[in-house]
Amino acid sequence: MSSRYTDIYQQWQDDPDTHWTNAARDITWFRPPERIFDADQGVYGRWFVGGLCNICYNCVDRHIAAGRGQDPAIIFDSAMTGISQVFSFDAVLQEVTAIAAVMRNLGIEKGDRVVIYMPMVPEAVFSMLACARLGAIHSVVFGGFAAQELASRLDSAGAKLVVTASCGLEPGRVVAYKPLLDGAIELARTKPANCLILQREQLSADLDPDRGEHDFAELAAVQRAAKTRVDCVPMASTDPLYILYTSGTTGKPKGVVRDTGGHMVALHWSMRNIYGLQAGDISWTASDIGWVVGHSYIVYGPLLAGVVTVLFEGKPVGTPDAGTFWRVVERYGVNVLFTAPTAIRAIRRDDPNGRLAGGRNLSSLRTLFLAGERADPETLHWAATLLGIPVIDNWWQTETGWPIAANPMGLGPLPVKPGSPTVPMPGFTVAVLDDSGHRTSPDALGNLAIRLPLPPGCLTTYWEADDLFHEACLSEFPGYYKTADAGRIDEDGYVFVMARTDDIINCAGHRLSTGALEEVCACHPDVAECAVVGVADPIKGQVPCGFLVLKSGTMRGGPDVCQDVIDLVRQRIGAVAAFRKVVIVAKLPKTRSGKILRATIQKIADRQSWSMPATIEDPATLQAVAVALREDVYVSKKQ
């Protein structure tokens, strides 16, 4: 089949308004937009101005109105508890309405912020949809973050309500959320008025109603029994739907703001045209609702398109083994699986010959999509050979909300070039710019930038920080959004994404700021100076490695300080930082102007060829790093 991609991309370039007008027809509007794009609003313009809509209505109610109430909407599978549940659209509506009624009784109104700090349970998705129904802005915080990170998000968002659970379940341990929540509220300057806590049977939390702590299930049951009605609040297209915090170059996370109308249009378009999914198909995005991939393709994308979404609590390996993914695919007849390359690498490590996939009927599976980090050709090839289906890389970011570049399966697949997420999607003009902002020659490496305006579905700004958004993303290359990724575009227009240009590292498909890790390491009383770089890891892509210079006269031994620093990072940032490696050096390699030579340290750690920078202050420091990395890396054994 030949691909319609070139024609559709050309049509979008020639007449973007018509392209997006047609895409917007797939959405039910309470009032249609007056203008498709208004360049004079917002930081770089706003989409579908004048439209009124509600994403919860589009995800749930309208499918029921179309007679699909009894059809499955969400399948929940927990490899941690053995639970398997199917929720029809009717059941989803019932749950979402009950929770929305509870939230409304707790004073939540349009525009209020609600932080959702939950494991992968259906109530997390219902809570997101309940916020959307009321017009409240949700901010989902990944469960692997510690109290301080939660506190900074509570403060930044000014959250009125927190929805959480008594615990999360990680392999071999129960993560008690309540102490983390208590710690966060203690630290936060803005205290939420109420907390809704879902009690899980593995660990229950003590609730104090006087402190606004309520039992999620009890309150929802009352509303369910009363069949309380909660209508969908009409939202302007441009009203925020959610804030999702992501790592920036400083310790302070950035609140990516997603609008309502543009987000719906873009996601719906992507479901059919990129992921090749239609109503009734079954899609499984094995990620977490705390990340953008989870927001877009566990929750909103599939539900908007009437596609059944699988919500999975578990890991690709160890719950109980590397065959879990294939069990889920077979059991529910999954058509499209979407995960991060890390998950496939972990499966391959534990089951290199794919023995655990062998006895399974995986005939329902049409495509495996990979995103979140670079899909290395070896992993791609292994998965394609094992499954005998196309394995499709797609490149995007928390900021964009949907793929910048992909191989659009719904428009007809293009040839796969391993190592490339294929071509820019309609809406995105990708340019490769040198550091002065000039286009590089074809195939040359440079900064990947997107010509403004960003298409619908991308961030509109950072929460209450238009200036920061402008400064961080739009100012360096006027007329472009800076992705902070480096890469090239080949003669066929294929994009290759090579590395970040900032100090963000990608660990197991999670984005970590080395700056934030350094801030924590530097707090240790025995640490004089530190640097954190991402070093190559065969499974997680990269893991952070700390380089510490100890203060002279320190009484504690080096290994003790290393373990202290590792514990401190876990306590302040959370287990998700996966910070386990530390090296003590006498001096950090720096330029004569005092800049730490992180890139060279990283090359040495990754055993790549490196050359002595001409600007180095003391060449012996780099040799010392090389020796320390060979002989003296402290790796934490403690969890």
Give residues in contact with ligand AMP (CB under 6 A).
246, 292, 371-375, 393-398, 421, 483, 485, 497, 500, 506, 511
**Shortest distance, CB of residue 181 to ligand COA, whole angstroms?**
13
> Which lies closer to ligand AMP via its Cβ, residue 348 or residue 524?
348
Window 91-130: contact mask with ligand COA (x via CB under 6 A) = ----------------------------------------
> Which lies closer to ligand AMP via its Cβ, residue 135 or residue 574?
574
Give the residue from 274, 285, 246 showing the smallest Cα distance to 455.
274
* Contact of residue 166 among ligand COA, ligand AMP, none (CB under 5-8 Å per partner type): none
* Contact of residue 351 among ligand COA, ligand AMP, none (CB under 5-8 Å per partner type): none
Q: Indicate the burial class of 82 (C-beta count within 10 angstroms; 0-12, 13-18, 19 or more).
A: exposed
> Which lies closer to ligand COA via its Cβ, residue 372 or residue 455?
372
Determine the Cα–Cα distance for residues 563 and 540; give it in Å rounded to an integer. 21
* Contact of residue 374 among ligand AMP, ligand COA, none (CB under 5-8 Å per partner type): ligand AMP
> Which lies closer to ligand AMP via its Cβ, residue 135 or residue 372?
372
> Which lies closer to ligand COA via its Cβ, residue 284 or residue 496?
284
Evaluated on CA atoms 616, 619, 621, 627, the torsion sign reads positive
263 binds ligand COA (CB under 6 A): no
**Shortest distance, CB of residue 318 to ligand COA, whole angstroms?**
7
> Which lies closer to ligand COA via its Cβ, residue 499 or residue 578?
578
Q: Are 623 and 592 in contact (CB under 8 A)?
A: no
Determine the Cα–Cα distance for residues 515 and 527; give it in Å rounded to an integer. 16
* Contact of residue 500 among ligand AMP, ligand COA, none (CB under 5-8 Å per partner type): ligand AMP
Give the residue from 529, 476, 536, 468 showing the smallest Cα distance to 501.
476
175 binds ligand COA (CB under 6 A): yes
372 binds ligand COA (CB under 6 A): yes
Give the residue from 542, 620, 531, 623 showing the smallest Cα distance to 584.
531
* Contact of residue 144 among ligand AMP, ligand COA, none (CB under 5-8 Å per partner type): ligand COA
CA 540-385-420 angle, to 5 degrees, is 55
> Which lies closer to ligand COA via its Cβ, residue 161 or residue 577?
577
Number of residues that bind ligand COA (CB under 6 A): 25
Give the residue from 382, 321, 387, 381 showing the smallest Cα distance to 352.
382
**Shortest distance, CB of residue 372 to ligand COA, whole angstroms?**
3
* Contact of residue 175 among ligand COA, ligand AMP, none (CB under 5-8 Å per partner type): ligand COA
> Which lies closer to ligand COA via its Cβ, residue 611 or residue 639?
639
- Exactly one of 445, 575, 626, 633 binds ligand COA (CB under 6 A); that residue is 575
| DSSP line for 364-376 | T--EEEE-SS---
Which residues, 6+ apart, have CB-to-CB distance to 465 below 8 Å? 254, 255
Residue 329, number of CB atoms within 10 A of its CB: 25
**Shortest distance, CB of residue 16 to ligand COA, whole angstroms?**
29
Give the residue from 401, 393, 400, 397 showing the smallest Cα distance to 452.
400
Give the residue from 205, 144, 211, 175 showing the smallest Cα distance to 80.
175
Of residues 134-163, which lie at the interface with ligand COA (CB under 6 A)? 142-144
Of residues 505-524, which lie at the interface with ligand COA (CB under 6 A)? 508-509
Sheet of strand 446-451, all strands in order from the earlier edge strand to the far edge: 430-433, 446-451, 480-489, 495-500
Torsion over CA of 414, 415, 420 and 426, rounded to 10 degrees?
Answer: -10
The DSSP output letter for 236 is E
Q: What is the 3-state secondary structure of 533-552?
A: EEEEECCCEEEEEEEEEECC
* Contact of residue 299 among ligand AMP, ligand COA, none (CB under 5-8 Å per partner type): none
Q: What percent helix, strand, coil does the chain show, rounded to 5?
A: 35, 25, 40
> Which lies closer to ligand COA via its Cβ, residue 117 or residue 547?
117
The residues binding ligand COA (CB under 6 A) are 142-144, 168, 170, 175, 287-288, 291, 293, 315-317, 340, 342-343, 346, 372, 508-509, 539, 575-576, 578, 639
